[in-house]
Amino acid sequence: MAGKIKVTLRRSMIGRPEQQRKVLRGMGLTRMNKSVELENTAAIRGMVLKVAHMVEAEEVKQ
């Protein structure tokens, strides 16, 4: 699973549980519509699944 994933925060973290906020901050997402490119690892994919209702994820072509 090489490559990168582009993750974009689409929904606000206001009113969300602290655990979900920590996951978003851990990925580097601090405000709405911010995008980050992360390594496509099992840990990152698990983080994306925890907050899938708030983010958009797409694989980046290299």
Q: What is the pLDDT of residue 61?
A: 87
Structure tokens at 21: 């906020």
Place of tokens 């911010």: 34
How confident is residue 29, by pLDDT bands cut at 50, 70 and 90? very high
The answer to whether residues 33 and 9 touch, using CB atoms and an 8 Å cutoff, is yes
The answer to whether residues 47 and 23 touch, using CB atoms and an 8 Å cutoff, is yes
Domains annotated for the chain, with CATH where assigned, are 4-60 (3.30.1390.20)
Between CA 3 and CA 15 the distance in angstroms is 33
For residue 62, pLDDT over 80 is answered with no
Between CA 60 and CA 34 the distance in angstroms is 16
Beta strands at 55-60 and 35-39: parallel, antiparallel or unpaired: unpaired
How confident is residue 32, by pLDDT bands cut at 50, 70 and 90? very high
Q: What is the pLDDT of residue 1?
A: 56
